[in-house]
Chains A and B, each alone.
Chain A
Amino acid sequence: MIDRHDVMRMARLARLELSEEEIDQYQEDLMRFLRSGQKLQQVDVAEVEGTSHAVHVAHELRPDQVGTSLRQEAVLSLGPRVEQGFFRVPRIVEGQE
């Protein structure tokens, strides 16, 4: 069961601002996901090996070699506010003793 409260919490975690209508819509959508999941739970998987990844590939490691990075201007152009080559961000935590 997913209620409106769950949807609002998920939206908050994802930093999404939802209207009242959207909350209703997502609640309904997510309930449908859940029902599909419940259907899958009925399948007997006792004999099936666990899957840790969608595709069966062995890892490929990369040699430790330095390549090219983006130019500083290109990187800084991605942020709304910069200062002396840094991104400037507002107060991070509300603290107290």
Chain B
Amino acid sequence: MSKVSKGVLGMANYDTVIGLEIHVALLTDSKFLCSCSTAFGAPPNSQCCPVCLGLPGSLPTINEKAVECATKAGLALNCQINLFSKFDRKNYFYPDLPKAYQITQDAYPLCSRGFLDYYVDDQLVRTEITRIHMEEEAGKLIHSGSSIVSSDYSLVDYNRAGIALIEIVTAPDIHHPGQARLFVEQLRLLLSYIGVSDTKMEEGSLRVDANISLKPKDSDLLGTKVEIKNLNSFRALEKALEYEVSRQGEILDQGGTIRQESRTWDDRAGRTMSMRSKGDAPDYRLFPEPDLPPLCLEPAWVESIRASIPELPLERLGRLEEQFGLSRYEATFFVHYPDFCQIFFDLAEYDLSPKAIVNFLMGDYARLARERGHLDARRIAGLLTIVKEGLIGANQEGVVLDALFSSEKSAREIVKEQGLEALRDSTELQGVVDGVLTANPDLVARFRSGESKLLGYFVGQVMRATRGKADPEVVNKLLEEALS
């Protein structure tokens, strides 16, 4: 194939159509159909048993927590929960699949017809969720080369094989690579809010297969789609899709046809590559899983799961903007960092302005808290209250904040012990001002002959003499009086 150049006619003449399949490992202690541990990082092939290895005579049983997590995800994504769903056996040979079949849900998935609303450039958009089904995770392959295509051999670890997964399938209604990324970011955030997955992409807990095709603008006919497998970072997802938009656009521009195929993303080379498997096109010969009866759920149980769903990211964004008057930027920060958001809500219970709380939490505190962990909201409220009361000056806030992190004392105790109270008593400050002026007769003379910028120097000297505690307003006033 010739070199792909970006921004050719491809972009202008075609609409991009993207649909995603997102595989999410559920947060259970044991695997989906056996009791092996799901802990990450164990020695390879040390968390396997006859069931997940598919040894003859073994019998799978369904993990109830996995069903609970899958149902919760479906409800949070506005899906219909199917009270009757069942399992099927998908047969294929692949080294990451020890049993040579995967237990999945084909015709009767647990969840269908949902949607996720999210912002794309300040515009609220909706992506339809076609279905969510439960299935088993495959083992982990480590390739000898930079991608599966360039590898002479691979190493297999079956610890992951059999972990409970959900596959979330979207309708093909995503229109550009950046939108695909935003969708997955929002989905990931939502899944972490409801606690059904650790969503760690770097550990493979959330992986995306992307289907992408181009169609001539204003045509109703979809083009031939290409599936890009196993995208395991937001960057890889966006880059691989951008590459495909260019590649497919160029082929179509030259009058060529797109081959329907699976491709893989080579991150190092920055391109997708065909991964034609040996032999036939896949034929999974799906049939009803004989080892598992259908899954029949009670409506009351589904409702109890619905009741356990907390406030979701989009609702929270709206509440932060409407109830507390936060900007979109500020609200987005808190939606993305639920730990900071919790502290915001705790502080909002005190008599403090939301603006003051937000400025504090998003300022120096954010850096310190990331390094050293969060402070108790009560102690932060103590600091913000004495700042509000004017007990300390703005430049003492940082000193007290440091002390809050390194001791158990309250802000008031710290201020008292270190004598940090703001000095605004005119009589007391007058002495300091007089002292500074008496010590600098030359500078006073220069000031009086027109060097007005020396006022800043005098203020600085007074602050220094009072270790930053003097109220700058009072100091300014006293200096102006003394120098006039």
Contacts and interface: CB of A to CB of B under 8 A. Distances in A.
A47 interface: no
Contact of B276 (A13, A75, A96): A96
Contact of B67 (A15, A61, A69, A72): A61
Interface string A21-58: 00000000000000000000000000000001111011
B156 A61 contact: no
Contacts of A86: 44-45, 142, 155-157
B478 interface: no
Nearest to B50: A70
Q: How large is the interface on B (under 10, 10 to 19, 20 to 34, 35 or more residues)?
A: 35 or more
B86 interface: yes
A4 interface: no
Contacts of B30: 64-67
Contacts of B293: 53, 55, 57-59
A13 B285 contact: yes
A60 interface: yes
Contacts of A88: 153-156
Interface in B127-176: 141-142, 147-158
B369 to A, nearest CB: 33
A63 B63 CA distance: 6
B164 to A, nearest CB: 9
Contacts of B91: 13
Given A13-B285, A75-B46, A93-B149, A87 B155 contact: yes
B43 A85 contact: yes
Interface in B1-56: 1, 28-30, 34-37, 43-50, 53
B65 A91 contact: no
A95 B264 contact: yes
Contacts of B29: 64-66
Interface string B269-284: 0010111111110010
B46 A95 contact: no
Contacts of A55: 293
B46 A72 contact: yes
B356 to A, nearest CB: 44
B294 interface: yes
Contact of A69 (B37, B93, B147, B295): B37
A20 interface: no
Contacts, number: 153
Given A53-B86, A66-B30, A85 B44 contact: yes
A75 B155 contact: no
B64 to A, nearest CB: 4
Contact of B151 (A58, A92, A97): A92
Interface string B68-94: 000000000000000000100001011
A62 B60 CA distance: 10
A13 B275 CA distance: 19
Nearest to A90: B153
Given A61-B67, A75-B158, A97-B1, A87 B273 contact: no
Contacts of A95: 147-150, 264, 273-276
B63 A52 contact: no
A49 B321 CA distance: 54
A79 to B, nearest CB: 8
Given A64-B64, A93-B277, A95-B275, A52 B288 contact: yes
B154 A92 contact: yes
Contacts of A96: 149, 273-274, 276
B61 interface: yes
A62 to B, nearest CB: 4
B278 A94 contact: yes
B247 to A, nearest CB: 10
A65 B293 CA distance: 21
Interface string B403-419: 00000000000000000
Contacts of B275: 93, 95
10 contacts: A59-B294, A62-B64, A64-B30, A65-B29, A66-B37, A69-B37, A88-B155, A89-B95, A91-B154, A93-B148
Interface of A: 9, 12-13, 15, 52-55, 57-72, 75-76, 78, 83-97
For the complex of A and B, list the 9 residue pairs with the smallest distance between their C-beta atoms, beginning with the closest: A95-B149, A67-B35, A86-B155, A64-B65, A61-B64, A85-B44, A89-B95, A87-B156, A62-B61
Interface of B: 1, 28-30, 34-37, 43-50, 53, 61-67, 86, 91, 93-95, 108, 141-142, 147-158, 264, 271, 273-280, 283, 285, 288, 290, 292-296
